Amino acid sequence: MSAPNLYDYVDQDTFKQLLELDDEDDHSFSYSTVSSFFTQTELALREMESALTRRDLLKVSHLGFSLKGTSGAIGAFRIQKSSEKLQDYGHCIDGSNSITVEEAWELIPPLVSTIKTDYHGTEKALKSFYAEDD
């Protein structure tokens, strides 16, 4: 099975800007940034499971905020957009509307599932990009 298209998961302009920070002969800087994204996202997803189990909306919102920033740094737009929604749901907001705690808990688990799916696709595409670059 081939790797997913990188730009289906990562904004091309943002990622190219990240690559421009690399030395001409290698991608060590951008790869260290991407590796940090992997580590931070995996930790946040583990913490998310705990927050879901405890039904801790404040922690869900905080993790959404954290994931939004981490994913934005490399241009992982799918994760960034979903994480922003997660942050809002943790504050009982859906778009410009207030929602109940119960409504938030109905929306959060499927969104976390989407984030996980998008993370795995993003991870696979990025690892393929750097493996091909070696």
69-92: pLDDT as tens digits: 999 999 999 999 999 999 999 999
Reported confidence tier of residue 133, pLDDT bands at 50, 70, 90: low
Does the pLDDT value for residue 134 go beyond 60? no
Does the pLDDT value for residue 26 go beyond 70? yes
Q: What's the confidence (pLDDT) of residue 25? A: 85
User: Based on the number of CB atoms within 10 Å of its own CB, is 26 exposed (0-12), middle (13-18) or buried (19 or more)?
Assistant: exposed
Mean local confidence (pLDDT), 27-42: 96
Please give the domain boundaries of the chain with CATH numbers for all domains: 7-133 (1.20.120.160)
Rg (CA), the chain: 16
CB 65 within 8 A of CB 91: no
**% the chain with pLDDT above 70:** 97
Mean local confidence (pLDDT), 47-55: 97
92: number of Cβ within 10 Å: 17
Q: What's the confidence (pLDDT) of residue 1? A: 59
Residues 6+ away with beta carbon under 8 Å from 37: 70, 71, 73, 74, 76
